[in-house]
Amino acid sequence: MIESYSFGSMVIDGKEYTNDLIIYPERIKSPWWRREGHRLDVEDIKEILEAKPEVLVVGTGASGLVEIPEETERYIRGKGIRLIAQGTKEAYKTFNALSKSKKVIGAFHLTC
């Protein structure tokens, strides 16, 4: 469970993360880098898609600057994965709520 989020910082199970990250059901990948910093391309989430989540929650940053191109959205949905993209402050709450009953992976941009 994500305990808290503030600009540039996320606390999960008592550990603070200060780089973008991906939360899998069994592990956390940090840092998480994208090919283009504020753009989410299919190549950036191949590992996520291979894990076959029911839901992918994307935290688009404090100001929502991470862009998800339409082709990326279509690709994710074409794999039968529900995509939820929200500002990170809202997205972490959505992730926590859904992770109680679904196989959810969260990909979070922690700054802008």
Residue with tokens 């199970």: 13
Low-confidence spans in the chain with pLDDT less than 50: none
Note the pLDDT tens digit of each residue in 46-55: 999 999 999 9
The CA distance from 28 to 78, in Å, is: 25
pLDDT (0 to 100) of residue 20 = 98
Cβ contact 99:44 at 8 Å: no
pLDDT at 65: 96
Domain 2-108, CATH class in plain words: alpha beta
* pLDDT value at residue 76: 98
pLDDT in the model for residue 63: 96
Q: In this structure, how many other beta carbons lie within 10 angstroms of the beta carbon of residue 61?
A: 20
Q: What is the pLDDT of residues 3-20, one digit of tens each?
A: 999 999 999 999 999 999
Q: Give the domain ranges of the chain.
A: 2-108
